[in-house]
């Protein structure tokens, strides 16, 4: 069929028109559309040229039917820090912008006896192309095993490496907290309070390990009274701050495992007219909006959760996303955090 005949045959070009113009089978065009590795580079260029000339736009419903999947990425989470979830979503959405993909966000209850059953029901109904798991549920091997059984690709996100490289995106929490505490020690602080995160998460374990690493390396003896349990919420930080500042020997610095709790510690200091940073240095973790909304502005760790979301989507469906990374980039597992010095603590 001539080019002019194809263009005139119907107002909306079809996959058959692309196949005719490219001189290949409909099945080959379908493989091209679905990013199959079975299509050679030579044929890929011919089909791409035909698609461009005809202005052909693949039908998402037809593609989904062929793949036996919906054009969805699923995000499963049970996390008390809503900002973490929102920032991760921003990263995912930036990766799938201008594609046929959509993001389905599903909160789950990690304490439920029906957790696995609920997740399986959701995944079977939605048939996503892939699943992203945020901590702490990303730390459960049984959920990863469920995804494997359902033949759904997944990415586990966490504060440490949780799976093989192709299925994992992580941050360097232990290392960066060690650096943060080391910076406080270098400024002369020896009594440093530590506000833990909630039990059941890997991130508090990694961050506390970094805290202890720094003290050990500097030969600073830890007073057990300086370690207080928190839960990543403001009120826990407030309670922890009051407890630490009620000690006969107050800390001269406090590290809280996230910014929300750091804000609570700062509030407790303000209640007692303790001057920040002159009498108490306060540092946090996340670099959330809270860090710049408190006064003085919070020195903190920038946790690259948005970048982690972007990389998770890119690793999950590299053939679909815009500006897809190359093979080397897709091997990336750890995205490094960094320290941001503001007014709540002198670090350099």
In a domain, 343, yes or no: no
189 and 271 within one domain:
yes
CATH classification of the domain holding 20: 1.10.260
Please, are residues 283 and 300 in contact by the beta-carbon 8 Å criterion?
yes
247 and 295 within one domain:
yes
Q: How far apart are CA 121 and CA 132, in angstroms?
A: 16
Please, are residues 299 and 283 in contact by the beta-carbon 8 Å criterion?
yes
Q: How far apart are CA 1 and CA 23, in angstroms?
A: 10
In a domain, 97, yes or no: yes
84 and 43 within one domain:
no
Q: What residues have CB less than 8 Å from 237, skipping those under 6 apart?
A: 195, 230, 256, 260, 261, 262, 263, 264, 265, 267, 268
> Shortest CA distance to 130 belongs to which of 70, 184, 49?
70
45 and 25 within one domain:
yes
206 and 300 within one domain:
yes
Sheet (strand 299-302) strand order: 227-228, 192-195, 253-256, 281-286, 299-302, 338-340
In a domain, 300, yes or no: yes
Taking the CA atoms of residue 234, residue 240, residue 243 and residue 248 in that order, the dihedral angle to the nearest 10 degrees is -120
pLDDT band at 8 (very low <50, low <70, confident <90, very high): very low
Tokens 């699923």, residue? 74
pLDDT in tens, 150-195: 999 999 999 999 999 889 999 999 999 999 999 999 999 999 999 9
Q: How many domains does the chain have?
A: 3
Please, are residues 128 and 69 in contact by the beta-carbon 8 Å criterion?
yes
Q: How far apart are CA 252 and CA 259, in angstroms?
A: 18
160 and 81 within one domain:
yes
Q: Specify the DSSP element, H or E, that contains 278.
A: none
pLDDT band at 59 (very low <50, low <70, confident <90, very high): low
**Token pair for 200:** 């059941």
Asked, as a colleague might, if the bond just before 296 is cis with ω within 30 of 0, I would say: yes
In a domain, 62, yes or no: no
283 and 201 within one domain:
yes
In a domain, 102, yes or no: yes
In a domain, 347, yes or no: no
Strands 102-107 and 253-256 come out as: unpaired
Q: What percent of the chain has pLDDT over 70?
A: 89
In a domain, 185, yes or no: yes
218 and 106 within one domain:
no
299 and 186 within one domain:
yes
Give pLDDT, residue 278: 96
For residue 234, give its domain range.
Answer: 173-304
CATH classification of the domain holding 218: 3.40.50.2300
In a domain, 341, yes or no: no
161 and 189 within one domain:
no
Q: Specify the DSSP element, H or E, that contains 75.
A: strand 72-77
Average pLDDT over residues 115-121: 95
Lowest-confidence region among 32-46, 52-66, 93-107, 320-334: 52-66
197 and 289 within one domain:
yes
pLDDT in tens, 289-344: 899 999 999 999 999 999 999 999 999 888 776 555 666 667 788 999 999 999 99
Q: How far apart are CA 253 and CA 90, in angstroms?
A: 33
Q: What residues have CB less than 8 Å from 320, skipping those under 6 apart?
A: 35, 96, 99, 100, 101, 129
pLDDT band at 69 (very low <50, low <70, confident <90, very high): low
309 and 162 within one domain:
yes
Give pLDDT, residue 65: 47
Give pLDDT, residue 321: 65
């Amino acid at each position: 069929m001539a080019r002019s005949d194809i263009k005139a045959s119907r107002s909306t070009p079809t996959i058959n028109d692309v196949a005719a113009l490219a001189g290949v089978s409909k099945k080959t065009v379908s493989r091209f559309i679905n990013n199959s590795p079975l299509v050679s580079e030579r044929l890929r260029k011919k089909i791409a040229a035909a698609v461009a000339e005809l202005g052909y736009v693949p039908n998402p419903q037809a593609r989904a039917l062929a793949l036996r999947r919906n054009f969805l990425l699923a995000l499963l989470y049970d996390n008390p820090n809503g900002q973490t979830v929102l920032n991760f979503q921003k990263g995912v959405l930036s990766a799938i912008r201008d594609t046929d993909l959509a993001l389905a966000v599903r909160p789950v209850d990690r304490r439920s006896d029906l957790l696995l059953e609920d997740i399986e029901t959701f995944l079977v109904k939605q048939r996503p192309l892939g699943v992203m798991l945020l901590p702490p549920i990303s730390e459960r091997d049984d959920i990863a095993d469920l995804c494997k059984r359902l033949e759904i690709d997944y990415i586990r996100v966490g504060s440490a490496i949780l799976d093989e490289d192709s299925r994992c995106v992580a941050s360097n929490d232990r290392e960066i907290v060690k650096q943060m505490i080391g910076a406080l020690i270098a400024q002369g602080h020896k009594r440093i309070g530590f506000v833990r995160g909630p039990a059941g998460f890997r991130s508090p374990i990694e961050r506390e390990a970094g805290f202890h690493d720094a003290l050990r390396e500097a030969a600073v003896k830890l007073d057990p009274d300086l370690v207080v349990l928190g839960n990543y919420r403001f009120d826990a930080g407030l309670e922890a701050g009051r407890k630490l500042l009620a000690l006969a020997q107050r800390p001269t610095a406090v590290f809280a495992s996230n910014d929300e709790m750091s804000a609570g510690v700062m509030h407790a200091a303000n209640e007692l007219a303790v001057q920040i940073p002159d009498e108490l240095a306060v540092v946090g973790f996340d670099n959330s909006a809270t860090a710049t909304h408190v006064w003085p502005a919070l020195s903190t760790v920038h946790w690259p959760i948005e970048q982690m979301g972007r990389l998770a989507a890119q690793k999950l469906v590299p053939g679909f996303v815009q500006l897809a990374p190359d093979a080397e980039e897709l091997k990336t597992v750890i995205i490094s955090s960094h320290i941001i010095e503001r007014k709540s603590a002198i670090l350099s």
